[in-house]
Amino acid sequence: MDRNPPQPQPLAELHACDAGDVCCVRAVAEALLGEVDPHGPFRRDARLILTAACLHLQADVAVRPSLSGLLTLLRSFAAGQQSTVLWASSPMQFLQYAAAELAALDPYVFRAALETCIQSTVRRMSKYDSKAV
């Protein structure tokens, strides 16, 4: 029996970014999206959601950012937690900006962009798992 609990998959690219470096974190979001719908109508909004979510995770000094943590956060938004409420009160100006932009989106567009984020994170997790085997 394995007594060690599974370790969260690292979000290695995020660890290479300085805290709050929006341009670096945006590149991480773009890498997470990979080839998912490269010219699709929801990619820009998905990139904004992922960038804000990664910055949010990066700001939590108590927890090392991981793919599973990112997926949990994204799924909480899909389950109804309002990202705009969470980020609107953030001391980080980019998160406040993201909250305002996301609040202005049509709910269908937000949901489609969020689903794109979830799919790309799940895809990355499965790639990580297959490399570990």
CA 100 vs CA 61, 97, 107, 131, 133: distances in Å: 25, 5, 14, 38, 42
pTM summary value = 0.84
Q: For tokens 């980019």, what's the residue?
A: 94
**What stretches in the chain show pLDDT beneath 50?**
1-2, 4-7, 131-133
Q: What is the pLDDT of residue 128?
A: 64
Q: What is the pLDDT of residue 5?
A: 46
Q: What is the pLDDT of residue 132?
A: 41
CA 123 vs CA 40, 92, 93: distances in Å: 18, 29, 30
Q: Which amino acid belongs to residue 126?
A: S
